[in-house]
Amino acid sequence: MARGNKEILAKLEQIVGPEYVSNEEANLIPYSWDLTWAEPRMPDYVVMPKTVTEIQRILRLANHQKIPVIPYVNATNIGGLCVPEEGGIIMDLKRMDQIIKIDPETCYAVIEPGVSHAQLSAALKATNPQWEGVEFSKGFEFGWGVHPASASVLAMAINHGIGHLNGRLGINSQLLSSMEVVLPTAEVVKIGSCAYSDSWHSFLPLPRMDGLFTGWMGTTGIVTKLGLWIFPIRPYRDVLTIAAASAKDITKYMVHWRHYSLCDEVTAVSWWLAQIPITFPYKDKPKDAPEFFSYTVISGWTEEELEYKRKMWKKVVQEEKARGTQLIDFEYPEEAKRGRTELPSRIVGSTKNYSKSCGGGLAWPGTFAPCKSWPILYEKWKEIYIRHGLSPATRFTDYQGAHYGMLRCMTPFDKRNPESVKAARDAMVECVRAGIPLGMLPYKPPVEYMNELNAAADAGYVYLMTKIKDMLDPNNIMNPGKLGVR
């Protein structure tokens, strides 16, 4: 069955060629849902541009006809962000898959939207940090998350994605350096140093206009090239692990350890998230099992550097134990340790660890929250989750210092069963509602979370967000419905 309108289809075909546009439901259905509870919505067309000019022409057409356009690469955002609320054109950017540049001296890469984690990590590993031909070490890395390796690096990074270097460097959108964007009204703009020369190394010291396109979930423009900082791979790495009796105890330890800024990452997972796969439906934790497990990844240029970090870590653990923090010595199995350092991962990215045998649904209240609120919210979330028959598979991760970190609950559910879908959605929305007053903010928020955010937001904030959206996208064609204000 075909959808949409023949004239629009013909115009899209003229722009990208007939093999790269379709209005057949057979081709549209994989774009109509994602992993989450988001209600399926059929787009009317899918189009796969290859060039910036093609994107401009599609956007001109979409503006003229007032057709929604949804930027899309792999739809693994776990927020229903690519589900076309009002139908329209899915702009699948996978064909724009060039790594345009890797500068091993100034240490940045420039990529197109379709570049996957698989592609970029392979290319960076094969490039050595150097100066005037003298190589210093082997390979570069970026902040790799636990996503499917086929997912877009660009789509992740511009939406405040997180990776394995967060403890050391901050979240991935803090590591961006330049960008090229096609505005909803089809003009092409460059932001950052690339606006002045072919050097894509920094946004600073210019006004931070990149903020108009980061965290906006494809509602303000199409980012067509992205510069990102890349980092030399440190040859020595270790994973140190510990467990704790409660969320409070593990938070105390994490806050103390991250104080020294010595790790690449420090993360804690509740007993339920430590189960592979996450138990679904909810099951009680054995009484004697720790409530939280934590790993921290340390890295260095020499074994001595690593040894120093190990010593400091042990000191933190001893001091915490001495002051009564209930830490429990616990060694992660080797395989689990490897899973923390060998990213991106084919296995973890495949959702196997989270969502096996439960009916295909996966979502999260994925949030940034001040660490102070972690234990308080964990107890609240746990109560909410258990009430809805779900496992509180919670994760805390520190982001570069004392300011904030991740609080999220990976949630499998059964898509075969409408009750299960509803329970999962209700639980997660309730968690978000409970968290906002305590400083918690959901990332890549599904529409339901966005509505919660908007209801609680400062009126001026919503006013400005709406004004910016209207200014950039006067016909509201870009991923409409996702901001909850238009």
Ligand X SMILES: Cc1cc2nc3c(=O)[nH]c(=O)nc-3n(C[C@H](O)[C@H](O)[C@H](O)COP(=O)(O)OP(=O)(O)OC[C@H]3O[C@@H](n4cnc5c(N)ncnc54)[C@H](O)[C@@H]3O)c2cc1C
Binding site for another protein (CB under 8 A): 1-2, 19-20, 22, 24-27, 29-40, 46, 48, 74-76, 92, 94-95, 116-119, 121-122, 125-126, 148-151, 342-347, 349-352, 355-362, 414-418, 420-421
Query: Residue 417 binds which entry of another protein, ligand X, none, with Cβ cut-offs from 5 to 8 Å by kind?
Result: another protein
N- to C-terminal Cα distance for the chain?
30
The residue among 114 and 221 lying less far from another protein, judged by its C-beta, is 114
Nearer to another protein among residue 186 and residue 362 (C-beta): 362
Q: How many H-runs (helices) and E-runs (strands) does the chain carry?
A: 15, 23
Distances in whole angstroms, Cα of residue 140 to Cα of each of 148, 228, 395: 20, 12, 27
Interface with ligand X includes 76 (CB under 6 A)? yes
Let me know if 245 is exposed, middle or buried by CB neighbors in 10 A (0-12, 13-18, 19+).
Answer: middle
Q: Position of tokens 């599609």?
A: 58
Residue 109 parent element (H or E): strand 108-111
CB of 300 to another protein, least distance (A): 18
Cα(27)–Cα(429) distance, integer angstroms? 32
Tokens of 54: 């093609």
8 A C-beta contact, residue 127 and residue 140: yes
Q: How far is the CB of 442 from ligand X (least distance, A)?
A: 13
Q: Is the dihedral of CA 51, 57, 60, 64 positive or negative?
A: negative
Token duo for residue 402: 């004392």
Q: Total residues contacting ligand X (rule CB under 6 A)?
A: 34
260, two tokens: 């020294």
Is 88 among the residues that bind ligand X (CB under 6 A)?
no
- Quick one: which segment of 153-161, 196-204, 271-279, 432-440 binds ligand X (CB under 6 A)? 153-161
One-letter amino acid identity for 323? R
Judged by beta carbon, residue 172 or residue 420, the one nearer another protein is: 420
From candidates 68, 80, 192, 218, binder to ligand X by CB under 6 A: 218
Least distance CB 430 / another protein (angstroms)? 19
Structure tokens at 196: 């002045």
Is the Cβ of residue 311 or residue 416 nearer to another protein in the bound state? Answer: 416
3-class SS string, 51-102: CHHHHHHHHHHHHHHCCCEEEECCCCCCCCCCCCCCCCEEEECCCCCCEEEE
Counting contacts by CB under 6 A, is residue 436 touching ligand X?
A: no
Strands 89-92 and 45-47: parallel
175-214 footprint of ligand X as x/- string (CB under 6 A): ----------------------------------------
Residue 162 site contact among ligand X, another protein, none (CB < 5 to 8 Å, cut-off depends on kind): ligand X
Q: Is 155 in the site for ligand X (CB under 6 A)?
A: yes
The CA-based angle 250-244-358, given to 5 degrees, is 95
* Cβ at position 220, least distance to ligand X in Å: 8
| 434 touches, from another protein, ligand X, none (C-beta below 5 to 8 Å by class) | none
Least distance to another protein from the beta carbon of 1, Å?
A: 5
Q: CB of residue 64 vs another protein: minimum separation in angstroms?
A: 25
Q: Which two tokens stand for residue 316?
A: 């933190």
Amino acid at 289: A
78 lies in the site for ligand X, by CB under 6 A: yes
Identify residues 358-417 at the interface with ligand X (CB under 6 A): none
Contacting residues toward ligand X, per CB under 6 A: 35, 70-78, 81-82, 93, 113, 145-148, 151-152, 154-156, 158-159, 161-162, 217-218, 222-223, 349, 351, 479
